[in-house]
Amino acid sequence: MLETLLQGVLLGGLYTLFALGQSLMFGVMRLTNTAQGDFIILGAFAVIAGVSMTGASVPWGVVLAVLPLAFGFGYLLQRHVLNGTLGKDPLPSLVVTFGLSIVIQNLLLELFSADPRAIEVGALATASVPLGDTLALGALPLVILAVAVTATGAMQWMFTRTPLGRTFRAVSDDREIAELMGLKAKQVYALATGIAFVLIAIAGALQGMRTTVSPSDGPLLLLFAFEAVIIGGMGSFWGTLAGAMILGIAQQIGFRIDPGWGIWFGHLVFLAVLVLRPQGLFPKTR
């Protein structure tokens, strides 16, 4: 049982990274990015392409190089595409990101074929940390969990303690008044999406290291991100982390009962939260 819980928490770490970008974009501009999963996969393939082009034996340098590119990509995407879809009606943004999802999937299929690929991390992929006599945890999943917790803490700090976070909250509260104060909402949105895309690229790189990725994986990752955000509620990034942990643990318990039940079990918990507590477990506290 302990092992199931621990594996669930480790899985939840990955899901946290899937969800943080979504949580940020929704929190700042009420934009649901239905291409979130596909952008994660795009991030993974960007690292794969970078590794094969540079012939690097370890991917870490390539990952670091991809992060600023991801920021720029997100910034420009928001500036030139997504800002035009925002408004009282959520439909345009849903349709446009859904369209982007299809474009990305087909682009990746064209460039990389449908074969699953992975990002090689050498010995780290199989290394494990023993815990007592019978239990061992994978080193890579532990690294992912550490990255997830660090990223969540950094996002929460940025959002609540820094001038940038203050502008994010102000624009989210009341765009008109924020603009009256001299803020450029469209630029603030672009910064938020840029940061979200850094998180997306980190998620993609780690997903590619932990398992394999193929161009059609995106929608399932989107679903996990979405479930984590909804379960956690929109109150804080820690809520997103908690939602992701709950989802990960639920899936592991499902896997334990029957190998075919894992993802389904996650959906059940998601559904239960949606019915019993639609505002999520940790809704906005102030």
Q: Can you tell me which of 64, 124, 136, 181 binds another protein, judged by CB under 8 A?
A: 181
Q: Can you tell me which of 83, 167, 207, 251 binds another protein, judged by CB under 8 A?
A: 167
Contact between 141 and 8 (Cβ < 8 Å):
no
| 286/283 Cα distance (integer angstroms) | 9
**Of residues 42 and 178, the one with the C-beta less far from another protein:** 178
Q: Report CA dihedral (174, 278, 86, 171) to the nearest 10 degrees.
A: 20
Q: Can you tell me which of 54, 106, 184, 257 binds another protein, judged by CB under 8 A?
A: 184
| Structure tokens that stand for 21 in this block | 């970008």
* Closest distance of CB 93 from another protein, Å: 22
Does the footprint of another protein cover residue 178 (CB under 8 A)? yes
Residues 226-285 that bind another protein (CB under 8 A): 284
**Of residues 181 and 268, the one with the C-beta less far from another protein:** 181
**Of residues 238 and 261, the one with the C-beta less far from another protein:** 238
Instruction: Specify the stretch interacting with another protein by CB under 8 A; choose among 57-65, 87-95, 164-172, 266-274.
Output: 164-172
DSSP string of 141-198? Answer: HHHHHHHHHHHHHHHHHHHHHSHHHHHHHHHHH-HHHHHHTT--HHHHHHHHHHHHHH
Does the footprint of another protein cover residue 179 (CB under 8 A)? yes
Instruction: Specify the stretch interacting with another protein by CB under 8 A; choose among 11-19, 75-83, 160-168, 241-249.
Output: 160-168
Where is 15: in which H helix or E strand? Answer: helix 2-29
| 77/67 Cα distance (integer angstroms) | 15
Q: Can you tell me which of 1, 53, 123, 180 binds another protein, judged by CB under 8 A?
A: 180
Expressed in angstroms, the distance from the first to the final Cα of the chain is: 37
Contact between 172 and 284 (Cβ < 8 Å):
no
Q: Report CA dihedral (158, 161, 164, 170) to the nearest 10 degrees.
A: 110
Instruction: Specify the stretch interacting with another protein by CB under 8 A; choose among 62-70, 101-109, 176-184, 191-199.
Output: 176-184
Does the footprint of another protein cover residue 157 (CB under 8 A)? no
Does the footprint of another protein cover residue 176 (CB under 8 A)? yes
Provide the CB-side half-sphere exposure for 116 (13 A, CA): 10
**Of residues 12 and 235, the one with the C-beta less far from another protein:** 235
Does the footprint of another protein cover residue 87 (CB under 8 A)? no
Give SS3 for 202: helix
Does the footprint of another protein cover residue 286 (CB under 8 A)? yes
Does the footprint of another protein cover residue 23 (CB under 8 A)? no
Binding site for another protein (CB under 8 A): 163, 166-167, 169-170, 172-174, 176-184, 284, 286
